[in-house]
Amino acid sequence: MSLSIPSAPNAGLFKPGYQNYDAEDGAVLRNIDACRTIAQTVQTSLGPYGRNKIVINHLQKMVLTSDAATILRELDVVHPAAKLLVMASQQQEAEMGDATNLVIVLAGEMLRKAEELLRLGLKTSDVVQGYEKAQDFALKALEDLEVDKVADMRSLDELSKAIRTVIASKQCGSEDILADMVADAVLAVLPKNPANFNVDNVRVVKIMGGSLEQSKVVKGMVFPREPDGVVKKAKKAKVGVFSCPVDISQTETKGTVLLKNAKEMLDFTKGEEAQVEALVKELHDSGLRVIVAGSTVGELAAHYLNRYGILVIKILSKFELRRLCRVVGATPLARLGAPMPDEMGTVDVVETLEIGGDRVTVFRQESEVTRTATLVLRGATQNALDDVERAVDDGVNVVKAITRDARLVPGAGAAEMQLVERVRAHADTTPGLAQYAIRKYAEAFEVVPRTLAESAGLDATEVLARLYTAHGAVQKKGKPAPATEGSGSSSSSSDDDEDEENDEEDWCTGVDIENSDGSGTLDAKDEGILDLLVSKSWAIKLATEAVRTVLSVDQIIVARQAGGPKPPGPNPNWDED
Lowest model confidence (mean pLDDT) among 52-56, 86-90, 191-195, 245-249: 245-249
Question: How sure is the predictor about 501, in pLDDT bands with cuts at 50, 70 and 90?
Answer: very low
Strands 288-293 and 521-523: unpaired
Stretch among 18-32, 66-80, 197-211 having the lowest mean pLDDT = 18-32
SS3 of residue 46 by DSSP = coil
Apex CA 472: angle with CA 471 and CA 477, to 5°? 105
Q: Pairing mode, if any, of strands 311-314 and 288-293? A: parallel
Closest CA to 69 of 44, 40, 102, 36: 102
- The residue among 370 and 387 whose pLDDT is bigger is 387
Reduced to 3 states (helix: H, G, I; strand: E, B; else coil), residue 517 is coil
**How much is the pLDDT for 1?**
41
Q: Which residues pair with 219 in a beta bridge?
A: 373
482 pLDDT band, cuts 50/70/90, is very low
Domains identified in the chain and CATH numbers: 19-147+410-483+499-557 (1.10.560.10), 153-201+382-404 (3.30.260.10), 216-379 (3.50.7.10)
Find out whether 213 and 173 touch, Cβ atoms under 8 Å. no
Q: What pLDDT does 25 receive?
A: 47
Percent of the chain past pLDDT 90, that is, above it, reads: 0
Please give the Cα distance from 522 to 508 (Å, whole number). Answer: 8
pLDDT in tens, 129-143: 888 888 888 888 888
pLDDT higher than 60, residue 401: yes
pLDDT tops 50 at residue 481: no
Whole-angstrom distance, CA of residue 369 vs CA of residue 360:
22
- Whether residue 162 contacts residue 402, with contact meaning beta carbons closer than 8 Å, is answered with yes
pLDDT tens profile 208-254: 877 788 788 877 788 877 778 777 777 887 888 888 777 776 666 67
pTM value is: 0.77
The yes-or-no verdict on residue 3 having pLDDT over 70 is: no
Highest-pLDDT range among 43-57, 103-117, 305-319, 354-368: 103-117
Main-chain dihedrals φ then ψ at residue 240, nearest 5 degrees: -115, 135
Q: d(Cα 241, Cα 157) in Å, to the nearest integer?
A: 38
What's CA 187's distance to the chain center, in Å? 19
Name the residue type at position 150. Answer: V
| Torsion of the alpha carbons at 218, 224, 228 and 229, rounded to the nearest 10 | 40
**More confident call, 255 vs 7:** 255
The more confident residue out of 98 and 536 is 536
**489 Cβ partners below 8 Å, 6+ apart?**
none
Per the CB < 8 A criterion, the answer to whether 321 and 294 are in contact is yes
CA dihedral (168, 149, 396, 43) in degrees, to 10, reads 40
* C-beta separation of 149 from 455 below 8 A: no
Looking at residue 250, what is its pLDDT? Answer: 64
Note whether 418 and 247 are within 8 A (CB). no
User: In Å, what is the CA distance from 442 to each residue of 7, 81, 135, 428, 530?
Assistant: 46, 23, 9, 12, 21
Nearest residue to 177 via CA among 163, 193, 191? 163
* Spatial CB neighbours of 445, under 8 Å, sequence gap ≥ 6: 106, 138, 416, 417, 419, 420, 423
Nearest-angstrom CA–CA distance, 263 and 406: 76
- The Cα angle at residue 177 between residues 173 and 181, in degrees rounded to 5: 145
Q: Which pLDDT score is estimated for 10?
A: 56
